[in-house]
Amino acid sequence: MNTVRLGIIGMGNIGRYHADYLLHGKVSRCQLTAVADAFAPLDAWAAKGLKTFNEGEALIRSGAVDAVIIATPHYQHTTLGIAALDTGLHVMVEKPISVHKADAERLIAVHARHPRQVFAAMFQLRTEPRYVKIKRLITGGELGELVRMNWIITDWYRTEAYYASGGWRATWKGEGGGALLNQCPHNLDILQWLCGMPAKVRGFCQLGRYHDIEVEDNVTAYWEWASGATGVFITSTGEAPGTNRLELCGTRGKLVLEHNRLTFTRNETDMLEFSRVAKTGFARPDIWNVEIPFDNAPAQHATLTQNFVDAILDGAPLVAPGAEGLNSVELANAMLYSSLIGQTIELPLDGAAYEAKLQELIAGSRFEKKVVAIQDEDFTKSFVR
């Protein structure tokens, strides 16, 4: 194979975005050959020479593609991913890879039966220059041992019109969650990529505080790592103007990412070592105030898709292996489950218990969703977080 024939399943906002850069040749050795959607009109895509299908399974069985990007509503990510892997296709799944941990584990288990097929997740923030710099500082030991994390990311503001734009949005049955599962998977992926998975979490999630929805739109959570490091994660889709501030504090200093600036207040001496040897009670380590430069180029979905193609054709290592998508799903589930049962959750999360709780929420839902048409707008403004 010299060229990967790629199909996209789900032609909503993100599916159309993938199709656009593929048709404009932003990914080499790759040809978009087919698209599928059960509801969106496909005539315009057929006019571009693409094969079109009204069902994702039909595209998977068609023989028209070697690989697929799955960009459907969340619950279909698992079923379509499994179908594609079992058919012999390579698979890239949009975030989240599944609605809940048990489904993610089922998807990962199927891939384990097909190890020669490439299974990737679309976590493009891993290529975003700011986070790449932070990763290098952490892995290079510049930050020392992590002692505290704080991410306030409340600039995910969404209107009632946003939630009314699709019948699946912000429902237990259609989406399986709210801000944590829709807006924040990339942030949760970045946190576990940078800091590793915490040992336990305690979530406080408000359901429909700001919107006429049944899922969470306001969250405050406490995290704790096995090392004793602690963290606070705060997010909302109802707060304006909102904040986006990430702080990572280690024994060698503090990193702050806010307002498109990355600053490092660096201790000349490890704070724990300094405390042990200091001769006075109020002494502090000397510090350097450093602004860390980075390229302002945003993370590109096309970069991850190119990596997916290179993995298929050349065996290149994946930036975001599909199995790693389990971690952000588990974090989202654990925070919500903790809030629902009013208890701290120790990780790893009991996926079966959370799945049962989610089914209970679906069965008990009396929420009536009102769907209205909204004007087209540029949703790509929400990409960089």
Strand pairing partners for 135? none
Quote the pLDDT of residue 87.
Answer: 98
Q: Containing H/E element for 68?
A: strand 67-70
Q: What pLDDT sits at residue 282?
A: 97
- Supply the pLDDT for residue 384: 57
- Check residue 21 and give its pLDDT: 96
pLDDT of residue 369: 77
Which amino acid, one-letter code, is at 167? G
Residue ranges of the chain whose pLDDT lies below 50: none
Angle made by CA atoms 226, 232, 236, in degrees to the nearest 5: 140
167, 194, 202, 344 from 333: Cα distances, Å:
22, 20, 11, 12
3 state DSSP class of 265: strand
The string of DSSP codes covering 83-123 is HHHHTT-EEEEPSSS-SSHHHHHHHHHHHHH-TTS-EEE--
Start-to-end Cα distance in the chain = 36
Give the tens place of pLDDT for each residue, 314-356.
Answer: 999 999 999 999 999 999 999 999 999 999 999 999 999 999 9
pLDDT of residue 184: 98
**pLDDT value of position 381:** 59
State the sign of the Cα–Cα–Cα–Cα dihedral 273, 279, 280, 283.
negative
Q: How far apart are the C-alpha atoms of 7 and 314, rounded to whole Å? A: 20
| Torsions phi, psi for 359 (to 5 deg) | -65, -35
Residue 166 confidence (pLDDT): 84
CB 33 within 8 A of CB 5: yes
How far is 137 from 269, CA to CA, in rounded Å? 16
